[in-house]
């Protein structure tokens, strides 16, 4: 069952989402070659707890960390490790926070140091596909319109692989609520979108095959061909006037501009 949120509840979710966005901005200022995922994860957890919130993922179905950090062929659900990031790594970081009874959820992919152009292109297209999806999140449209927009842009127009096994989701009092929001689908299919719907839209897009498998750690989803993957996610609320993006990537993008070891994919090349 879909739980539609009141305006008050949406503001509480926005509060959680802004904390997530600021945590990812902290990640953007800390992450670089030579730093470990565990070190970044520790800082993120401290930051969230300093704001009287709880990490949204830690302990969720036994996940051991605050951030999901998925490197290179890692798609999502990577566990932070003691391995130092390297020049040329593409690192997807997913973060959740829980405060005042509500979750926020967002992800961003970082390009470390001297990264290949084909990966930068993948990241740009994945990020843009997220906004193509958000454009469809309007009263009267259907979930399938969001799904179609993401898939059409990433897969049909740009020939990347859109992951099928993992999907976006409703969010609120629970991290994962109904409805599922796939990144692939048919126009005018699925549930009708109504005001008060709060969902996380999160395209996971692969440079090569769309096929994925679970790594030996039992958590990390990796591409079957070991080629790179990117992941961008916003939590949004549907209002009568259109989509209201509750998470805010401008905090992250500002931090990237101040970190010379991260490539700014929003800059014109």
Residue 60 DSSP symbol = G
Contact pick of 9, 41, 89, 105 for Mg ion (by CB under 5 A): 105
CB of 202 to Mg ion, least distance (A): 5
Counting residues that bind Mg ion (by CB under 5 A) gives 6
Q: Which residue number, 10 or 17, has a Cβ lying nearer to Mg ion?
A: 17
Spell out, one character per residue from 84 to 103, where the chain touches Mg ion: x when CB under 5 A holds, - when not: ----------x---------
Contact pick of 40, 90, 200, 265 for Mg ion (by CB under 5 A): 200
Q: Which residue number, 94 or 177, has a Cβ lying nearer to Mg ion?
A: 94
CB of 251 to Mg ion, least distance (A): 16
Spell out, one character per residue from 107 to 126, where the chain touches Mg ion: x when CB under 5 A holds, - when not: x-------------------
8 A C-beta contact, residue 213 and residue 226: no
CB of 114 to Mg ion, least distance (A): 28
CB of 105 to Mg ion, least distance (A): 4
Structure token digits, residue 180: 């599922």
Q: Give the Cα separation of 152 and 156 in Å (integer).
A: 5
**Would you tell me the crossing angle of helices 143-151 and 117-135 to the nearest 10 degrees?**
160
User: Cα torsion at 121, 126, 129, 133 (round to 10°)?
Assistant: -170
Q: Does 177 bind Mg ion (CB under 5 A)?
A: no
Q: Give the Cα separation of 210 and 225 in Å (integer).
A: 9
Q: What are phi and psi of 27, to 5 degrees?
A: -55, -45
Q: Calculate ∠ Cα 53-55-59, nearest 5°.
A: 135
Interface residues with Mg ion (CB under 5 A) are: 94, 105, 107, 200, 202, 233
């Amino acid at each position: 069952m879909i739980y539609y949120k009141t305006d008050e509840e949406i503001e509480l979710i926005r509060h959680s989402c802004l904390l997530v966005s600021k945590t990812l901005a902290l990640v953007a200022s800390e992450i670089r070659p030579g730093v470990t995922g565990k070190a970044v994860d520790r800082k993120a957890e401290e930051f969230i707890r300093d704001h009287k919130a709880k990490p949204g993922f830690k302990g969720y179905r036994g996940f051991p960390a605050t951030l999901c950090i998925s490197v290179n062929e890692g798609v999502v659900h990577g566990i932070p490790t003691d391995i130092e990031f390297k020049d040329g790594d593409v690192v997807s970081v997913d973060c959740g926070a829980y405060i005042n009874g509500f979750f926020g959820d967002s992800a961003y992919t970082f390009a470390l140091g001297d990264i290949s152009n084909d990966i930068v292109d993948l990241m740009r297209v994945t990020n843009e596909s997220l906004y193509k999806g958000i454009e469809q999140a309007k009263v009267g449209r259907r979930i399938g319109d969001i799904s179609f927009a993401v898939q059409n842009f990433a897969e049909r127009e740009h020939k990347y692989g859109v992951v099928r096994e993992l999907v976006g989701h409703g969010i609120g009092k629970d991290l994962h609520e109904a409805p599922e929001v796939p990144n692939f689908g048919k126009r005018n299919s699925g549930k009708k979108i109504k005001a008060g719907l709060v969902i996380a839209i999160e395209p996971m897009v692969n440079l090569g095959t769309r096929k994925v498998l679970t790594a030996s750690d039992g958590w990390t989803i990796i591409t079957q061909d070991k080629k790179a993957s990117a992941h961008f996610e916003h939590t949004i609320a549907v209002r009568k006037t259109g989509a209201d993006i509750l998470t805010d990537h401008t905090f992250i993008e500002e931090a990237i501009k101040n970190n010379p070891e991260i490539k700014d994919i929003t800059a014109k090349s």
